[in-house]
Structure 1
């Protein structure tokens, strides 16, 4: 790792220094929460990014005896909601649901963000969602190897859909282009639903989609799974290999969702959230509901979550540069 990257990693991890230290037992936030707490979600109601904080928030409300309100603030690829979190009072009564891209990719692709990720402190990674590469059945490929072979002899002929520029599905497709040495064409949509509909209809040949989004269509035969984009096979699709198993070691595009708070939020409150969320995520009924959403519970420490953010920011910065993806306006 060169000196410039080391400096960048240090800068990304610096806000976590205070969170890496244990909080003495006597420093627990007595009486917190004393009033309702708000979780800002940077997307519209509906979908996994909305259902996850509502599920966790309901369980915490039962535990704490105080309401937890989910406040949807969609727009600008999630940047409007993240800015609202960064600008909120750091008193522990406003947190934000942060998808992976809003913390690791958007700061790279959007040069005019209204906030700096250093204005946010990590609380915990809530859950991860594996992605699957799927194709329309009309595509004459039943494995990633066959797809790559076809793409190499038909450069620019295959298209891949995504819910928008800079999304995880977009970057997964660009990463596959780079690693496999192929040229498929990105087709961005305004949301996952419209992207999925066009893959189902055959207007676009393939896409990377979350398991919760594509599984029902795989089971009905309307989509064909070629590879899992995460580090291991999925129990729902035990016969589908990972991209890494298919010849591209280290390929991992896993979506995840975490909680963040405004910079300056007391460490004791951050650690209370992390500890209590971890308890909630271990509850059998919660795990069952997360599984139905295609989510794997995590409940990491603030320090571990911050390390993931730093590492993935470096990773995607290099990929965006290699793929020559232009800045978003």
Structure 2
């Protein structure tokens, strides 16, 4: 079976598209323009989705605004170090945060030593959403969420599940699933998605909660059995994989995804907020961006600042409730 192209290769290839590509005329309509270099702060290491989305948007903004736009990676503290850097800056449009669930929804509840508050950031728009996926090693007779639930009930405390780390989106996906079903599995956290996937492929853990990539190619190669995706809708790249919601009424509201969006420091002038939001809309409507996002199972997710603010508030509340029930508390570092 032909393996799907890797997420990094797709995204890096998209980032290499010439910034001089012709943009829709709508991108020229906003009144505000930056007067100096625009900094896009990525609170993560180079190479991941947060980083590449920042680089793609930076190239777009540089062409649209005729002003240099550079990406600065400020990783550490689960994304809180780079985010704290942004909240200290002027809200004049020259410093932009590329955010994700870690520092912009989960961190507020899980970290004891937070250095910023939600109201210190202005949500501008989401960029993309990617489902998480639940899979199982072929050595266990589990090929659906219903079978997983039945197996746990018949074999209490025998299944282990892996994630990319305590407090990460895949871990909280599992925690919420277990809370809603009243079941238990033993959590085995790993330092990143790569080691967790290798443990699942080797049968060291029986169940894996992960982002759609890098698990999906392993499912397509028959090395893991896909049980479900965690978004309300099925993934376009894998329409035969059901959603968690399809299992039963106790999971009818289940909705977890990895999302990547844009923030400014609090209280930006209206023309700044409007201009950036409009350019994000143009960026996400580009055919090349839609095509490359689809290749990694992502969907573009533009919204107004109010819509994105409401989304962030709901995500923060959702993860906060999961974390509280789990009794999780950590130091950001």
Scaled by the length of structure 1, the TM-score of the pair is 0.87
SS at match of 2:99: strand
Which residue of structure 1 aligns with residue 296 of structure 2? 293
User: CA deviation digits over 1:71-128, x for unaligned, max 9?
Assistant: 1111111111111111122221111111023222110111211112211111111111
Partners of 1:68 and 1:119 in 2: CA distance: 23
Which residue of structure 2 aligns with residue 277 of structure 1? 280
Contact 1:151/1:183 (8 A) holds in 2 = yes
User: CA deviation digits over 1:150-206, x for unaligned, max 9?
Assistant: 111222221222222111101110111112221012222222222222112221222
Contact 1:39/1:53 (8 A) holds in 2 = yes
Aligned-residue CA RMSD in angstroms?
1.6
1:306 to 303, 309, 312: 309
Partners of 2:316 and 2:230 in 1: CA distance: 18
Which residue of structure 2 aligns with residue 14 of structure 1? none
Matches within 5 A, 1:219-258: 219-247=220-248, 248-258=251-261
User: CA deviation digits over 1:118-145, x for unaligned, max 9?
Assistant: 1111111111111111112222211111
Cα distance change of structure 1 residues 93 and 120 upon mapping to structure 2, 3 Å threshold: same
Partners of 2:206 and 2:52 in 1: CA distance: 29
User: CA deviation digits over 1:211-264, x for unaligned, max 9?
Assistant: 232221111112211011110111222111111101121111112111111113
Which residue of structure 2 aligns with residue 131 of structure 1? 132
Q: Does 1:65 align with 2:66?
A: yes
Question: How big is the shift at 1:53?
Answer: 1.5
Which residue of structure 1 aligns with residue 196 of structure 2? 195
Which residue of structure 1 aligns with residue 269 of structure 2? 266
Paired residues, what number? Answer: 301
Partners of 1:200 and 1:88 in 2: CA distance: 44
Contact 1:38/1:95 (8 A) holds in 2 = yes
Partners of 2:296 and 2:53 in 1: CA distance: 8
Question: How big is the shift at 1:43?
Answer: 0.8
Contact 1:124/1:305 (8 A) holds in 2 = yes
Q: Unaligned stretches of 5+ in structure 1? A: 1-27
Q: Unaligned stretches of 5+ in structure 2? A: 1-29
Partners of 1:136 and 1:58 in 2: CA distance: 41
User: CA deviation digits over 1:47-90, x for unaligned, max 9?
Assistant: 21211121122122222222221111111111111111111222
